[in-house]
């Protein structure tokens, strides 16, 4: 959660280049970046609850990007969606062939590098301020919630032991 928040609040623009599966924490990082590009084979999803982990802070960022209906679908089903569907809902900006993934990310980075540094810093701060108003209102409530429950411990143990979660038996 702290890493996701740091990526979201980073003073320089951030770009995610997704070349495979981005699930749980990986998907959260994609969600926190300013821009995201993916290959058609990429899959993005939030299956945390299958292991007893609350969706948590990613909800705030996810809802900001894709809206409540899509966010509910993503976190409640835990399904990994295609890059095309992620693009349709606003989770990523562009889907490109595998051979163009890094070239596209680097092209965006080169475009960002043309920004005047002070203007960029101020603009990033304004983006955070305006989009984060809802984030900051709910953040205190979220940080007080217990995250590592007994259910979560059991789900993670099952995951690492490569067996089904206890509630799916």
User: Active site includes 48?
Assistant: yes
Q: Rounded to an integer, what distance in angstroms lies between the CA atom of residue 27 and that of residue 54? A: 14
Q: Rounded to an integer, what distance in angstroms lies between the CA atom of residue 124 and that of residue 139? A: 20
Q: Rounded to an integer, what distance in angstroms lies between the CA atom of residue 66 and that of residue 47? A: 17
Q: Rounded to an integer, what distance in angstroms lies between the CA atom of residue 61 and that of residue 68? A: 11
Whole-angstrom CA distances from 121 to 10, 106, 115, 167 are 10, 20, 10, 47
Q: Rounded to an integer, what distance in angstroms lies between the CA atom of residue 129 and that of residue 127? A: 6
Q: Rounded to an integer, what distance in angstroms lies between the CA atom of residue 133 and that of residue 50? A: 30
Identify the active-site residue in 1, 2, 41, 48: 48
Enzyme catalytic residues: 48
């Amino acid at each position: 959660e702290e890493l996701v928040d740091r990526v979201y609040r980073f003073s320089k623009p951030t770009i995610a280049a997704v070349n495979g599966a981005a699930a749980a924490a990986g998907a959260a990082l994609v969600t926190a970046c300013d821009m995201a590009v993916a290959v058609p084979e990429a899959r993005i999803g939030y299956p945390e609850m299958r292991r007893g982990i609350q969706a948590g802070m990613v909800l705030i960022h996810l809802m900001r990007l894709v809206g409540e209906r899509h966010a509910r679908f993503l976190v409640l089903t835990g399904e990994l969606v295609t890059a095309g569907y992620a693009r349709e809902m606003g989770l990523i900006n562009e889907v490109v062939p595998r051979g163009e993934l890094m070239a596209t990310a680097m092209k965006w980075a080169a475009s960002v590098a043309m920004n005047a540094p002070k203007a960029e810093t101020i603009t990033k701060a304004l983006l955070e301020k305006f989009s984060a108003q809802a984030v900051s209102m709910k953040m205190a409530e979220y940080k007080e919630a217990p995250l590592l429950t007994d259910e979560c411990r059991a789900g993670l143990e099952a995951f690492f032991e490569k067996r089904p979660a206890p509630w799916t038996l």
